[in-house]
Amino acid sequence: MDKEKPESRIPSAEDEKDFSEEKDDIQSSAADPALSGFRQDIDSIDAQIVSLLAERQHVVGHVAALKKTHNLQVYHPAREEDLISRRRQQAKETGLNPDFIEEIYRTIIRRSRVAQTGSMALKSVRSDGVVLLVGGKGGMGRYFQECFRRAGYQVRILDKENWPEADRLCDGIDLAMVGVPIDVSCEVIRNIGPFMPAKAVLCDITSIKEQPLEEMLKAHAGPVIGLHPLFGPTTSSLDKQIIVATPGRDDGACQWILDQFATWGAVVVRSDAREHDDIMGIVQALRHFATFAFGQFLKRRRISLSRTLEFSSPIYRLELGMVGRLFAQDSSLYSEIIFASEQRRDLLKDYINSLHENLEMLENGNKCLFQMEFQKIAEWFGPFGEQAMRESSFLIDKLIERF
């Protein structure tokens, strides 16, 4: 009698999984010694990299001390770009991706600048200088109060509640910096003028320059300069932050203020008051108003922001983030910027009219006209288009890494 054959069985998915895991275990076991060796090599190299970065940072400390002694600027764009170019070339020669190496070194350079700026924050270019901050209890007033005090200046605060003490507070000052809302800046300048010492510098930090500068020149016979810091009071470092300087009177007597900001790491951009106001109309007023209008439209249509983000590309998230950022801040700040002058309001009316000009194109579904206009604008943007692609792609990649 034949023996009964074992019952054949089709392997189940669980059997396949067990076999696969067993196979992986065998392969992993065989690779373990070599893999372990390579990992040790990587750990050793990583330790050397960190040690070299620490050594580099130590040398940066010596550089910062030297710059501090000789009142040299922290930011040296030519030196930085030369360094990046040489590292990119080295990357090519060693088979590494130049973009990867550039990204690493821009991070390293940024940290070096911040470290140097932190050291420079304690450096005063005017020994025993006395600074009066008019409106010093506001956001920017508190910010500059910290900057000047850390650098060793004697700082005095003049605000609404202690205005009767203006005469005493102005006595012996080297600088009066007016940082008040735009709509009262000219009045405050007129009121502080009579108390100003003859050799003291009078400056303002409002976001328009023509009217305040004109008022300062009338109110004070001594040195006058207009400043516009293009950053807010939440800025953690002045590294590469832009401050626009508009000349008023006696540039030589005002230079120490610009030198101080440069020592702190800021970039000073010089402009006359008219050019400043024209450009800020675009950079600030138009941009903020367009953002406001987009947010207003989303709200009126009751768009679900969270739902749109589920469908969004990184660039949409970035754009919506900038819209949300606007509405997370103080409305009075933006109303002051947008409604600062009749010229700005005229600019915004022109912008709205230009949008209406596109209605006929939309009503007729005129794709050809759209493409023609698109091409004209692209040609007008010129090489900046490629630059914008590179910069926005970098920001998108960073956004993807973060979220």
Average of per-residue pLDDT across 380-390: 91
User: Mind giving me the DSSP string for 165-222?
Assistant: GHHHHHTT-SEEEE---HHHHHHHHHHHGGG--TTSEEEE--S--HHHHHHHHHH-SS
Q: Residue 334 to residues 68, 73, 95, 281, 286: CA-CA distances in angstroms?
A: 37, 32, 50, 12, 11
> What are the structure tokens assigned to 44, written together?
């050793």
- pLDDT > 70 in the chain, percent: 90
Q: At what angle do helices 13-70 and 98-120 cross, to 10 degrees?
A: 40
134 closest CA partner among 197, 181, 99: 181
Average of per-residue pLDDT across 345-372: 95
What burial class does residue 229 get, using C-beta atoms within 10 Å of its C-beta: 0-12 exposed, 13-18 middle, 19+ buried?
A: buried
Residue carrying the six token digits 């207003």: 296
**Terminal-residue alpha carbon distance, the chain:** 72
- pLDDT > 90 in the chain, percent: 63
Q: Which domains does the chain have, with CATH numbers?
A: 38-120 (1.20.59.10), 130-271 (3.40.50.720), 276-402 (1.10.3660.10)
Q: Can you give the pLDDT at residue 1?
A: 47
Longest dimension (CA), the chain: 126
Q: Can you give the pLDDT at residue 395?
A: 83
pLDDT in tens, 53-108: 999 988 888 887 787 677 677 777 778 888 889 999 999 999 999 888 988 988 89
Q: Which residues contact 100 (CB under 8 A, 6 or more apart)?
A: 91
Pairing between β-strand 242-249 and β-strand 224-229 as defined by DSSP bridges? antiparallel
222 closest CA partner among 185, 251, 262, 183: 251
pLDDT in tens, 248-299: 999 999 999 999 998 888 999 999 999 999 999 999 999 999 999 999 999 9
Question: Which run of H or of E encompasses 16?
Answer: helix 13-70
Please tell me the distance from the alpha carbon of residue 171 to that of residue 200, in angstroms, as a whole number.
10
pLDDT in tens, 165-207: 999 999 999 999 999 999 999 999 999 999 999 999 999 999 9
Please tell me the distance from the alpha carbon of residue 291 to that of residue 297, in angstroms, as a whole number.
10
| Cut 0.85: pTM above it | no
| CB burial readout 131-140, b (16+ within 10 A) else e | bbbbbbebeb
Coil, strand or helix at 4: coil
Q: Can you give the pLDDT at residue 260?
A: 92
Residue 176: CB atoms within 10 Å:
28
Coil, strand or helix at 9: coil
Q: Where are the beta strands (DSSP E) in 207-283?
A: 224-229, 242-249, 267-270
Q: Which amino acid would we find at residue 287?
A: R
Q: Can you give the pLDDT at residue 208?
A: 94
Q: Residue 204 to residues 43, 59, 135: CA-CA distances in angstroms?
A: 54, 38, 10
Question: Which run of H or of E encompasses 154?
Answer: strand 154-158
